[in-house]
């Protein structure tokens, strides 16, 4: 198992949503994007992205359309929906709150972060 798989739980969708707020994208690109930003600590697998996509599409967070396959196989593009944007805003809020609580619970009283 990858090192920090559990830490990503519940954040995967939020991260995908955020990337899609900037522009429509497709699985492979998003996967690379995350790994590149992850500095070796965060490493979401392709398969995880695709299963997340399907889940999120079923939930109405994403809309999809086929694009062209420039330099490779066909691309399935994903766009964030209004519902997706609202959820992203909520999750973003939640993260900032949760972060301070976890800071307290994990680091403790000596807040020399």
Binding stretches for DNA (CB under 7 A): 1-2, 5-6, 8-13, 26-29, 43-48, 50-55, 69-77
Nearest residue to 50 (alpha-carbon basis) of 21, 24, 29 = 29
96 binds a copy of itself (CB under 8 A): yes
- Closest approach, Cβ 20 to a copy of itself, in A, equals 11
- Closest approach, Cβ 3 to DNA, in A, equals 8
Contact indicator for 46, 27 with CB cutoff of 8 Å:
yes
- Only one residue has tokens 């066909």, namely 74
From 32, 39, 64, 111, residue interacting with a copy of itself (rule: CB under 8 A): 39
98 binds a copy of itself (CB under 8 A): yes
């Amino acid at each position: 198992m990858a090192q920090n798989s559990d830490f990503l739980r519940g954040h995967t969708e939020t991260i995908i949503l955020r990337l899609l707020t900037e522009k429509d994208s497709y699985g492979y690109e998003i996967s690379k994007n995350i790994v590149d930003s992850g500095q070796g600590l965060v490493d979401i697998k392709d398969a995880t992205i695709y299963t997340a996509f399907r889940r999120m599409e079923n939930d109405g967070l994403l809309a999809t359309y086929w694009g062209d396959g420039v330099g490779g196989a066909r691309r399935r593009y994903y766009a964030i929906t209004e519902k997706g944007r609202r959820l992203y805003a909520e999750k973003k809020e939640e993260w900032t709150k949760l972060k301070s609580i976890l800071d307290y619970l994990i680091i403790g009283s000596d807040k020399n972060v």
